[in-house]
Amino acid sequence: MTPGFSFEVIATLGNARAGILHTPHGDIETPVFMPVGTAGTVKAMTADELRAPPLDAKIILGNTYHLYLRPGLEVIGGAGGLHRFAAWDRPILTDSGGFQVFSLAGINEIDDDGVTFRSHIDGSKHRLTPEISMEIQRVLGSDIAMVFDQCPPGDADEAIHELALARTTAWAKRCRECPRADGQAVFGIVQGGIDTARRLRHMAEITALDFDGYALGGLAVGENLADTYRILDEVAHQLPADRPRYLMGVGTPADLERGIAAGIDMFDCVMPTRNARNGYLFTSGARVNIPNNANRLDFGPIDPECPCATCRTHSRAYLRHLYLAKEILYARLATLHNLTFYARHVRRLRDRILAGPH
Amino acid sequence: MTPGFSFEVIATLGNARAGILHTPHGDIETPVFMPVGTAGTVKAMTADELRAPPLDAKIILGNTYHLYLRPGLEVIGGAGGLHRFAAWDRPILTDSGGFQVFSLAGINEIDDDGVTFRSHIDGSKHRLTPEISMEIQRVLGSDIAMVFDQCPPGDADEAIHELALARTTAWAKRCRECPRADGQAVFGIVQGGIDTARRLRHMAEITALDFDGYALGGLAVGENLADTYRILDEVAHQLPADRPRYLMGVGTPADLERGIAAGIDMFDCVMPTRNARNGYLFTSGARVNIPNNANRLDFGPIDPECPCATCRTHSRAYLRHLYLAKEILYARLATLHNLTFYARHVRRLRDRILAGPH
């Protein structure tokens, strides 16, 4: 592995693992959920709030596509990298930009060398290749860079899948040769849709390249949940045992539990932050839709079992009012709660692995 | 004065005073700037952030009109009042709703008993009278309630001014007789536009009613700044010396300095919070318009002399990026800075009074 990085599995329970990923910016207990900091900020949150227990986020994710388009590399590079630009001193993982180029950007042209696309912000034309993606991630200075891959839609046909797989392997090789920031690790990405044999074949190609960790990409991109779970169950535990395993862009609390049981160590998803802003709050009981009239005169917390500052301080009635009045404070309080819920959910699952079989 | 309230002037410099307003929810050093918490939240801020030094807000303002319409008295009353609803344990001053009824609400009908208006939120029809305003403020449970007054536009003619003055005096008498929350003080409001004689005549009428404090209303409502300052200079120091003097809805840092020199003790204004959200940041030097291209690669703080968390942690370049990306975090960081600027500005002016003549 890249110097400064190491991964140790300290307990297992079936395929599930509890571990520690050591990085130059600090240790990360796994399984871990990584809050998404799309544009240089986990939306509505300060770094201090992310670091404060009980949330205590050990690593966040930054989006290469978004940061490249705005504010751009001259600005983030000028600041000395994303950690300094965003005043975040713990680890950062950056994606490669590939997923956003295929899902967010305007009409794109894919060829064997890379992708040409139009910015969703101003329509301007840009190009990403394995080398450009790695160069952006080098300037961002993330602790973990992801290889540039092609993620086909869930319902893509056989030929598209095969072409995407061949490209993803070729691009992974090119990413492997690119200059990196000091101490920057690189994770490979396994594609292959919902065909187990294709997944395993691609896994063999990617793991042969010896990356610092491995991700499953192209899941939860439109396929049935049963297929997602089947691939997880059949593939995750076959990824190299001595490297962290990352399930990209997933998912619900139940998805995380299923992923951890299958042997996944790292997750990211916009669900806790985006749902918070849209009024959906996770609890140890039923999910709360904050604008519901039932909350109008409910002076209890979102979740009496939650130790976050929102639940310790504010009522459902107050949050409902802030939501309906479109107050900025609502997004802050709701995001803090949902991220705390996710952090505690994953920590509880880790503790269960550490406790061992009953 | 109302039991639990007292006001002491501890130093003067010309007409300027440094004092302490003692209230059941804590002492307020005057002169003081009160952040505006329109709808049960100082926009984008938590109570903890408002209380934390160097901002250390000792009192905030709540808007009767807004809180009455949304979330309404059943909700705030059910929570046990505005302090508990918003989790703010320091003093709160509520306005009477009069100003918003005249400036924000739909076509209103004014008669000698009160005002009928339409909600700016849903067009529903409502009525405010001196008794209803005081009842709302009783349920909100503010520390300081304001009498319900009629504030004519700056360019109103003589007859309208005289009618508004007569009503404001009659309404002040009615407010004086209304039930209040436990320990709630009431301030009278002096109107009269920019005619000094009319102001002084109305001042005599209102001060004869013996309120806990007195406000100058109807300034900075469209008149020339020279007229505002002239009225301040000629009227403020004639308000009772043993009661706090409050200049409503004013203003710029320069306005505050002028008001304090004229003998004013309390101020409120949306300027620091609203300007922050709109990209205008106050500094010890020139005002900063954060989207300006000059800030693009400026990795220094908004104001190197400012001790707020925003200036200690983040660069102009980062704030500009957050502003352009419409990130919620921008509003938080900018509001914290501008409110800290106002708090320190007023505290410096207080220290100058305490230091005495040079």
A107 has a pLDDT exceeding 80: no
Cis peptide before A304 (omega within 30 of 0): no
pLDDT the model gives residue B154: 74
Nearest CA in chain A to B323: A71
pTM, entire model: 0.97
Band (A222; pLDDT cuts 50, 70, 90): confident
Q: How far apart are CA A325 and CA B38, in angstroms?
A: 11
A152 or B246, which is more confident? Answer: B246
Structure tokens at A170: 């070729």
Chain A residues in contact with B79 by the CB 8 A cut-off are: 299, 315, 317-318
pLDDT the model gives residue B222: 86
pLDDT the model gives residue B103: 82
Mean pLDDT of B308-315: 98
Mean pLDDT of A150-163: 87
Secondary structure class of A289 (helix, strand, coil)? strand
Pick from A311, A315, A318 the residue to mutate for testing the B interface (most B CBs within 10 Å).
A318
Q: Is residue B113 among the annotated active site residues?
A: no
* Across A72-81, A281-290, B90-99, B106-115, least confident range: B106-115
Beta bridge partners of A92: A60
A106 has a pLDDT exceeding 90: no
Strands A125-128 and B60-62: unpaired
Rounded to a whole number, what is the distance in Å from the CA of B351 to chain A's nearest CA?
A: 32
Total residues found in chain A within this entry = 358
A41 has a pLDDT exceeding 90: yes
pLDDT the model gives residue B106: 75
Q: Quick one: A110 exposed, middle or buried, by C-beta within 10 A (0-12, 13-18, 19+)?
A: middle
Q: Classify B56 in phi/psi space as left (phi over 0), alpha (psi -120 to 50) or beta.
A: left
CA angle centred on B167, ends B165 and B168, rounded to 5° = 65
B159-208 pLDDT, tens digit per residue, is: 999 999 999 999 999 999 999 999 999 999 999 999 999 999 999 999 99
Q: Quick one: B328 exposed, middle or buried, by C-beta within 10 A (0-12, 13-18, 19+)?
A: buried
Of B95, B143, B149, B303, which is the active-site residue? B95
* Chain B from 57 to 116: CB within 8 A of any A CB: 70-71, 74-75, 78-79, 85-87
pLDDT the model gives residue A5: 96
Half-sphere exposure of A244 (CA within 13 A, CB side): 32
Cβ of A322 under 8 Å from any chain B Cβ?
A: yes
B207 CB neighbour count, 10 Å cutoff: 16
Q: Is residue B195 among the annotated active site residues?
A: no
Q: How far apart are CA A308 and CA A345, in angstroms?
A: 13
pLDDT the model gives residue A144: 98
Cβ of A238 under 8 Å from any chain B Cβ?
A: no
Q: How far apart are CA A204 and CA B321, in angstroms?
A: 41
Choose among A44, A74, A321: nearest Cβ to B297: A74
Q: Report in angstroms the alpha-carbon separations of B114 from B128, B172, B190.
A: 6, 12, 18
Residue A166 has phi, psi (to 5 degrees) of -60, -45
Helix (H) or strand (E) holding A19: strand A16-23
Question: Residues 6 or more apart from B293 whose CB is under 8 A from it?
Answer: none
Q: How far apart are CA B244 and CA B8, in angstroms?
A: 9
Mean pLDDT of B291-302: 98
Note the ipTM here. 0.97
Beta bridge partners of A115: A110, A128
A232 or A358, which is more confident? Answer: A232
Chain B residues in contact with A47 by the CB 8 A cut-off are: 313
Choose among A47, A299, A321: nearest Cβ to B40: A321
Rounded to a whole number, what is the distance in Å from the CA of B110 to chain A's nearest CA?
A: 28
pLDDT the model gives residue A152: 84
For helices A328-355 and A316-324, the axis angle rounded to 10 degrees is 130
Cβ of A294 under 8 Å from any chain B Cβ?
A: no
Of residues A153, A152, A150, A195, the one with CA closest to residue A175: A150
* Across A108-112, A214-218, A228-232, least confident range: A108-112
